[in-house]
Amino acid sequence: MDVSVTLFGTLLMLSITGGLVTEIHHVTRFLELGKNGIINCSFSDNFYGVYWYDSDDTVQAIPIISITEGVKTADNSGEYEIEVDGSLVVTNVSIDHEHNFTALLFHSQSAIPIRHVATAYVIVRPEKPFPVIDQCSEKTRICFLPIENALTITCAVQKARPAVDIFWSRRIAEGEIDIASQEKGVVNGNITFSSYAVMISQPLNPGQLLLLVCKGSTLPKLLKSEESVLLVQQYYRFRPEYSSSERRLVEKGSNTVIHCTQGELFYLVWTKFHENTVEQVAWAIFLKDNISTSMSETVEVGFNGSLKLIDINPNHDGLYSCNYNDGHSDMTNFYHLLVYVIPDPPYPIMSGCDENQYCIIAAEQEGTLTCSLHRVRPVVRLKLVTLSFDDYLMITVENEETVVTSNGDTYEVVLKTKYRLHTYKDRIRFECKTYGEYADLFEMSKKFELFFHEESNTEVNLQSPVISTDRKRKIFLVIGVPLIGLLIIVFLVMHLILKSARNRKRQLTGQGVVDTLGRQNEQEENILLMNRINPNTDPLE
């Protein structure tokens, strides 16, 4: 069949009938700039021919391309192609293709055609497939921002066609709250448009959180993700005041998990305070977008908001706060993380002692004892004590001096103590042990003896004991106070005995009894007198 003859016959019939059609169908199609676009109208499978026009005029105009009984006409310009199913293909879409296209569908050569009108819109997708927040990286649509003062935040979609509608809202557990104080606008760039929405974030309470959402909507959908999310936290300028915190002791090189809360979580921020520094270490959002981000390779956020610290090192030391929102209000929990290192060796070292043996140190009357801990963290204090009260009375320990030096991540703790012997004793037992803060972490001690040379005996005994005022006070409290109490008790007992005796004597009545007692007393006195004169005399004779 000659296609040109068929086309001529069709055009002649349309001219005679004045463009009469049985039905009219309308569709909308979107063509992306610079790419090939397809305009289809869902034609029936069995048709005689389809004739495409690049306007609404189907009477005076000539079809740009057609297909008749499966035979296609060629477009010499190469601008259009036609598919077997009658769909129109627009090659290399330009802005000039944004208009109406009309297709006439014939079920037979003599049938009245069905008219299909397709409105074509040229679209341009923006370079970024999501609204871009100026305070975030252009590579991400969800980010975290600590703020100190009022801050202007802009969200925009650049170079899109048609223009994208941009607006800010605040997200809560129940949904979205529109932000009234925002400025919106569109900039016309000839072919494309740039849309923006600007809001001002006001200062919040320290640590307070705010979840902001920037949405961009349009028809057709130009963005892969139509919303970007910004989690805002009011910056801590100083270490916060807190009523209590859970202390967590963790050994260097281990892993640990700190739980934020056992309740519901919608978003949170983990912050670390160490000395004068404030550092946000991790944050997470569990509303609609489940996302978590950590600022360090040694930190992870669990699905329940817990903070996992990996391969603990002293840099993890500090006070941690978990600021979180449970869908109704913001709350905060504090945790004090302390990284410790067990000393090496794991006990105090006495100068002059072998490390792994019970130690006896040859000593003079006066001297200095040195006890130390090596490669320990945190700093723990040492003290020197005698193991018995007798030893305590015979020797004075004074002028304790502790020197702490840093050795990278650990410390060297050295205790120097002067002693002076008062009364000779060949051996006095001592113990160097940890005490004070962190003593429960490092319960360590080293026991040893001071052995005093015998030749020092005479010199020590010739000296008058020198007892300090504090030691005298302690001796008085230990010995004097109990002795005075004992004397008071004895006095009271004697007083009661004498009083009881006087009462019994008064109870004896009758003169005869008194005389009898008098004669008995007289006889006893005579017997005693005779014994003194002649001790060998029998008192009964």
**101: helix, strand or coil:** strand
What are the tens digits of pLDDT across the range 13-37? 554 445 566 778 999 999 999 999 9
On average, the pLDDT of the chain sits at 83
Picking from 325, 345, 323, the residue whose alpha carbon sits closest to that of residue 334 is: 323
In which residue are the tokens 């002795």 written? 483
Picking from 189, 197, 218, 210, the residue whose alpha carbon sits closest to that of residue 129 is: 218
Query: How far from the centroid of its chain's Cα atoms is residue 227's Cα?
Result: 27
Query: How far from the centroid of its chain's Cα atoms is residue 283's Cα?
Result: 8
**541 has pLDDT over 50:** no
- Lowest pLDDT segment from 256-265, 405-414, 448-457: 448-457
Query: How far from the centroid of its chain's Cα atoms is residue 469's Cα?
Result: 53
What does the pLDDT read at residue 326?
A: 86
Phi/psi region, residue 143 (left: phi>0; alpha: psi -120 to 50; beta: rest), is beta
The arrangement of secondary structure in 349-466, i.e. its CATH architecture, is Sandwich (2.60)
**315 has pLDDT over 50:** yes
Residue 109: phi, psi to the nearest 5? -65, -30
What does the pLDDT read at residue 530?
A: 44
Contact criterion met (CB below 8 Å) for 356 and 295:
no
Query: Which tokens sit at 338?
Result: 């302390």
What does the pLDDT read at residue 379?
A: 93
Q: How many CB atoms lie within 10 A of CB 82?
A: 22
The more confidently predicted of residues 328 and 168 is 168
Mean pLDDT of 184-195: 94
**456 has pLDDT over 50:** no
The more confidently predicted of residues 122 and 180 is 122
CATH class, range 249-340:
mainly beta
Reported as type and span, the H/E element at residue 497 is: helix 481-506
- The conformation of residue 465, written as its DSSP 8-state character, comes to P
What does the pLDDT read at residue 238?
A: 67
What does the pLDDT read at residue 528?
A: 43
Q: Please, which pLDDT band fits residue 94 given cuts at 50, 70 and 90?
A: very high
Supply the pTM of this predicted model: 0.68
How close are the terminal C-alpha atoms of the chain, in Å?
Answer: 183
What does the pLDDT read at residue 468?
A: 45
Residue 68: phi, psi to the nearest 5? -130, 125
**16: helix, strand or coil:** helix
**434 has pLDDT over 60:** yes
Query: Which tokens sit at 347?
Result: 């006990």
What does the pLDDT read at residue 184?
A: 94
The more confidently predicted of residues 274 and 113 is 113
- Lowest pLDDT segment from 171-180, 181-190, 233-242: 233-242
Distances (CA, A) of 328 to 107, 235, 266, 305: 65, 21, 10, 17
Q: CATH assignment of 3-123, given 3.40.50.720, 2.30.29.30, 2.60.40.10, 2.60.40.1120? A: 2.60.40.10
Q: Please, which pLDDT band fits residue 474 given cuts at 50, 70 and 90?
A: low
What does the pLDDT read at residue 478?
A: 57
Mean pLDDT of 485-494: 80
**2 has pLDDT over 70:** no
What are the tens digits of pLDDT across the range 347-398? 999 998 876 677 899 999 999 999 999 999 999 999 999 999 989 999 999 8
Q: Please, which pLDDT band fits residue 479 given cuts at 50, 70 and 90?
A: low
Task: Identify residue 82 by its one-letter amino acid code.
Answer: I
Mean pLDDT of 161-178: 90
Picking from 311, 263, 310, 303, the residue whose alpha carbon sits closest to that of residue 286 is: 303
Please check whether the domain covering 132-234 is classified as CATH 2.60.40.10.
yes
Q: Please, which pLDDT band fits residue 532 given cuts at 50, 70 and 90?
A: very low
Q: Please, which pLDDT band fits residue 496 given cuts at 50, 70 and 90?
A: confident
Residue 313: phi, psi to the nearest 5? -140, 170
Mean pLDDT of 88-115: 94
Q: Please, which pLDDT band fits residue 114 given cuts at 50, 70 and 90?
A: very high
**314 has pLDDT over 70:** yes
| DSSP code per residue over 31-62 | EETTS-EEE-----SS-SEEEEESSS--SSSP
Distances (CA, A) of 443 to 252, 381, 416, 429, 432: 18, 11, 20, 19, 11
**249 has pLDDT over 50:** yes
What does the pLDDT read at residue 507?
A: 54
Write the burial class of residue 379 (CB in 10 Å: 0-12 exposed, 13-18 middle, 19+ buried): middle
What is the SS3 string spanning 109-152?
CCCCCEEEEEEEEEEECCCCCCCEECCCCCCCCEEEEEECCCEE
Mean pLDDT of 289-312: 84
Mean pLDDT of 177-193: 92
Domain segments of the chain: what residues?
3-123, 132-234, 249-340, 349-466, 474-503, 508-541
Annotate 500-515 with b (16+ C-beta within 10 A) or e (fewer): eeeeeeeeeeeeeeee
Same fold, 132-234 and 249-340: yes
Distances (CA, A) of 90 to 81, 121, 415, 486: 7, 12, 89, 118
Mean pLDDT of 83-88: 94
Residues paired with 445 in a beta bridge: 433
CA–CA dist 66, 53 (Å, integer):
9
CA–CA dist 172, 162 (Å, integer):
30
The more confidently predicted of residues 495 and 261 is 261
Task: Identify residue 57 by its one-letter amino acid code.
Answer: D
**215 has pLDDT over 90:** yes
**81 has pLDDT over 60:** yes
